[in-house]
Amino acid sequence: MAEGELHPVVKLAKEAVESYVREGRIHKPKELTPEMREQAGVFVSLHEHGQLRGCIGTFEPAKSNVAEEIIANAISSSTADPRFPPVAVSELDDLEYSVDILTKPELVTDIGQLDPKEYGIIVESGWKRGLLLPDLEGVDSVEEQIVICRLKATISSTEPVNLYRFQVRRFK
Q: Residue 44: how many CA atoms within 13 Å on its side-chain side?
A: 28
Going through 82-142 in order, the beta strands assigned E by DSSP cover: 95-102, 106-108, 120-125, 128-132
pLDDT tens readout for residues 27-46: 999 889 999 999 999 999 99
Please answer whether residues 139 and 132 qualify as being in contact, where contact means their C-beta atoms are separated by less than 8 angstroms: yes
Please answer whether residues 165 and 108 qualify as being in contact, where contact means their C-beta atoms are separated by less than 8 angstroms: yes
pLDDT tens readout for residues 134-149: 999 899 999 999 999 9
pLDDT the model gives residue 1: 55
| 27: exposed, middle or buried (Cβ count in 10 Å: 0-12, 13-18, 19+) | buried
Domains of the chain, first to last: 8-102 (3.30.700.20), 106-171 (3.30.1490.150)
Judge if pTM exceeds 0.95. Answer: no
